[in-house]
Structures are given as structure tokens and as C-alpha cells.
Amino acid sequence: MDQVFKALSDGTRREMIERLTRGPSSVGELARPLSMSLPAVMQHLQVLEACGLVRSEKAGRVRTCHLEPDGLRMAEDWLGGQRTGWEHRLDRLGDFLNSDEGKES
């Protein structure tokens, strides 16, 4: 999971993931809106593939990238668990502040 969050910490890689949510894309299509060389785009894709967020396949001269939802799901599940804990603590704080004891403080 650390690799997933590290991969998502980069804006370029998040942009690539966002593009792939709309469907598979060739490396050239992913690179087009980015202001970087094709080898730099390939390095970003290697990071995304290494952590399981993206997979690619080559047909002839075209490499097509696909989003791997399971990688994102793992991060989403972890964040959801954290959110549940935060909401529970905030609910307890709200209850305390609305109680007679909290009003006296």
C-alpha cells in the first residue's frame, strides 16, 4: 500500500490515472497533454505498473494502458477505515461539547 500512495503522490501520475478512468489509452495518448518526453512518461507508467494501479499490453507497436481497480480499491478501503475512525471521534467530541460537562468547560 505504501507504493500505491507514493505513486499517487505525484501529480503527473494522478493525471494519468484520471485519464485511464475514462478507459484504456495508448502511451502516446497519455503523453500528449503532458509537457515531458516519452521516456519520462514511460518511467511514470512503470511506477504505476509496479504498484498494481495500471497494467499495459503491447500489440504491434502500440502499448495500451488499462486501470487496475483493485490497486485503487485497496487505498480506498484504507482511507474509508480511517474516515470511520475520524467520524467516530468527532461524534464523541460533539456529544461532549453538547453535554452539561462540555458546556461548563
Structural domain count, the chain:
1
Residue 34 domain boundaries: 1-101
How confident is the prediction along the chain (105 residues), in pLDDT tens digits per residue?
Answer: 899 999 999 999 999 999 999 999 999 999 999 999 999 999 999 999 999 999 999 999 999 999 998 888 888 888 888 888 888 888 888 888 888 776 676
- pLDDT for the residue numbered 30: 94
Task: Give the CA distances from residue 2 to residues 21, 65, 69, 74, 79, in Å, rounded to whole numbers and listed in that order.
Answer: 21, 22, 16, 11, 13
Report the predicted TM-score, pTM, of the whole model to 2 decimal places: 0.76
Q: Where are the alpha helices (DSSP H) in the chain?
A: 2-8, 11-20, 27-31, 38-50, 69-98, 100-104
Question: Among residues 3, 29, 5, 2, which one has the least CA distance to residue 16?
Answer: 29
Q: Which residues 6+ apart lie within 8 Å of 13 measured at CB?
A: 7, 44, 47, 48
**Three-state secondary structure string covering 32-57:** CCCCCCHHHHHHHHHHHHHCCCEEEE
- pLDDT for the residue numbered 22: 95
- pLDDT for the residue numbered 105: 62
CATH number at residue 88: 1.10.10.10
Give the strand order in the sheet containing 54-59. 25-26, 62-67, 54-59
- pLDDT for the residue numbered 20: 96
Beta bridge partners of 65: 25, 56
